[in-house]
Structure 1
């Protein structure tokens, strides 16, 4: 096992633009408007394929099936790679929608799991906002009436959006963000969703009355009116001379960290499960015990558990997404850094 380069799926949804290429610097994208690039995916029909080394040509799903512990670490037995990551260009506003939680996904969608997600804000225009969660005191009947009227601000919370902050969005939470917002999204491996809009996000075509009523029927069966998450700045610890580790969010489905390093010493990180490494800074050299790769701006590598550790020469600004053991990977380092138990309880309570 070695650092894996994966194919990227570019999705031309109506809210997208050109910021992933022009502002983040991602190469190889088509000239048309791009809303999302799926960086690491085991979603059926959108599965990433390895492009380098001996495993080239195999899908991520095949690699997991053939070498589950080499990829994910000792004891892993899941049927799919559990984490999905994306860059999202909300040049326009995303549709108001939700994703089922695990229970609703199994009961109503016939899917093995739901989709809890988190947004890490890379860039946001002054005054940018997001809708997330239902206002306190709003009944199901009032919510349904407002969604039918497309009067979203009457019932949904509108939050300020700032670069560097992160919002953990449990399944069942109504949400939207944009315009002029660039996001790195991490989530459970799933593509289920229910929309409240009168237009299709694929091409902007209108949604008819009968289809809209059916969409709202299913959405209301999945909506959790109690979820009211907030943006957080993360929890930072120093792990070397000029090396900063920021825990952005963590829960049972995924954790996301942002690491920055200068030139005094390289970024070094040991791990026991697969890490999705996405570069949000200048190009860097990534070294593991089994390989070395140049990682350009807005590019992603999948580091299998068997690699064990990684060294990145600074200056660097990168994201690590992974399936955590919360005590070992999150609570332990934060406790060792002196964070109080009260903060850790809040951290994990807002993160799954």
Structure 2
């Protein structure tokens, strides 16, 4: 694929079955199959489900896999500076999460643990951008007090969901809020919260509880490591006040100006911008734009104009050049800067 053929592409829906319920709002927004057990869409994904070869990968509008296109011409898709720093990895996985039931208490390993125990280059630091939430809906993030590994292991073995939930710090969220979730921190999301998630490009989750979910955590909850090893990836200490000040951010939907969503703590992992249609120029680079409202267009320096409307997801290659957004509002997700 030559530079001339590498152009922005609208992405078809990429929903698939999971162990928790949901997915109807994704189906409505993205013209996908909906629920009842498809609560995630992986958007612009070059990442597969854990232990699988194809499931999870996104297709382009021509039916080919995005991963294959990027591998065929990484400089055009990602930019030479990105390739020199990160190789052919896009460095980011973008998802929609639409849970109709509370997500179980779980956590993700960091890069060091993933490299040492799983021989992977990425852990799973992530962040949630809240698109919709019922009044009073909450997310749990981090333990409320110092925990001990043996204490957590005992709760997991006993399937003590109540105690694990009670151990977390819960915070109410509303549309426009954003939450940065460091790897290793135990967390949960209550039912009904519609989330755009950015994360490192892996599928690495360790479950601490799973009763009431369509998964056997004793068998499949620990990345085939066993809990004795998997619990070494869990952060046992509470988040500090300074960390909480960095973690909770968001976007202002009433602002006429485009603006970044996360604080600098996220920069080594991913970036996200709320684009208001103010025609502010966005620098060239790989990205995924999700249109949230309006009917407008993306105007590219090297690729002309692309019409977009609410629910469209567009994968943008570096070769498209800088661009502006007009007459619509959305979120641009990007890898860390090279």
* TM-score class, shorter: 0.7 to 0.9
- Structure 1: stretches of 5+ with no match in the other structure: 327-352
Partner of 1:40: 44
Moved more, 246-255 or 181-190: 246-255
- Answering whether residue 297 of structure 2 is matched by residue 255 of structure 1, we say no
3-state SS of paired residue (2:139): strand
Q: Summarize the Cα distance change of 1:312–1:75 in structure 2 as closer, same or farther, 3 Å threshold.
A: closer
1:231-266 superposed Cα distances (whole Å, 9 cap, x missing partner) = 523477999xx33324334321101111224xxxx4
1 CA distance for matches of 2:230 and 2:13? Answer: 30
Partner of 1:126: 135
- Answering whether residue 15 of structure 2 is matched by residue 10 of structure 1, we say yes
Partner of 1:82: 91
1:66-77 alignment to 2 at 5 Å?
66-77=72-83
The answer (yes or no) to whether the contact 1:134–1:157 under 8 Å persists in 2 is: yes
Q: Summarize the Cα distance change of 1:136–1:246 in structure 2 as closer, same or farther, 3 Å threshold.
A: same
The answer (yes or no) to whether the contact 2:91–2:336 under 8 Å persists in 1 is: no
The answer (yes or no) to whether the contact 1:100–1:172 under 8 Å persists in 2 is: yes
3-state SS of paired residue (1:132): strand
Partner of 1:58: 64
- Answering whether residue 118 of structure 2 is matched by residue 113 of structure 1, we say no
Q: Summarize the Cα distance change of 1:31–1:171 in structure 2 as closer, same or farther, 3 Å threshold.
A: closer
The answer (yes or no) to whether the contact 2:132–2:194 under 8 Å persists in 1 is: yes
Q: CA deviation at 1:325?
A: 2.7
1 CA distance for matches of 2:22 and 2:227? Answer: 24
1 CA distance for matches of 2:191 and 2:253? Answer: 32
Partner of 1:223: 234
Q: Summarize the Cα distance change of 1:91–1:269 in structure 2 as closer, same or farther, 3 Å threshold.
A: farther
- Answering whether residue 305 of structure 2 is matched by residue 292 of structure 1, we say yes
2 CA distance for matches of 1:227 and 1:253? Answer: 22
Match of 2:196 among 168, 184, 209: 184
Q: TM-score, normalised by structure 2?
A: 0.82
Q: CA deviation at 1:184?
A: 0.3
- Structure 2: stretches of 5+ with no match in the other structure: 1-5, 49-53
The answer (yes or no) to whether the contact 1:268–1:309 under 8 Å persists in 2 is: no
Moved more, 267-276 or 97-106: 267-276
1 CA distance for matches of 2:177 and 2:183? Answer: 20
1 CA distance for matches of 2:316 and 2:289? Answer: 7
Report how many residues are paired.
310
Q: CA deviation at 1:121?
A: 0.6
2 CA distance for matches of 1:192 and 1:207? Answer: 14
2 CA distance for matches of 1:41 and 1:8? Answer: 11
1:75-109 superposed Cα distances (whole Å, 9 cap, x missing partner) = 23213221110111022111211111101111112
Q: CA deviation at 1:186?
A: 0.5
3-state SS of paired residue (1:108): helix
Q: CA deviation at 1:205?
A: 5.0
Q: Summarize the Cα distance change of 1:212–1:106 in structure 2 as closer, same or farther, 3 Å threshold.
A: closer
Partner of 2:283: 271
2 CA distance for matches of 1:237 and 1:245? Answer: 10
Q: TM-score, normalised by structure 1?
A: 0.79
1 CA distance for matches of 2:203 and 2:194? Answer: 20
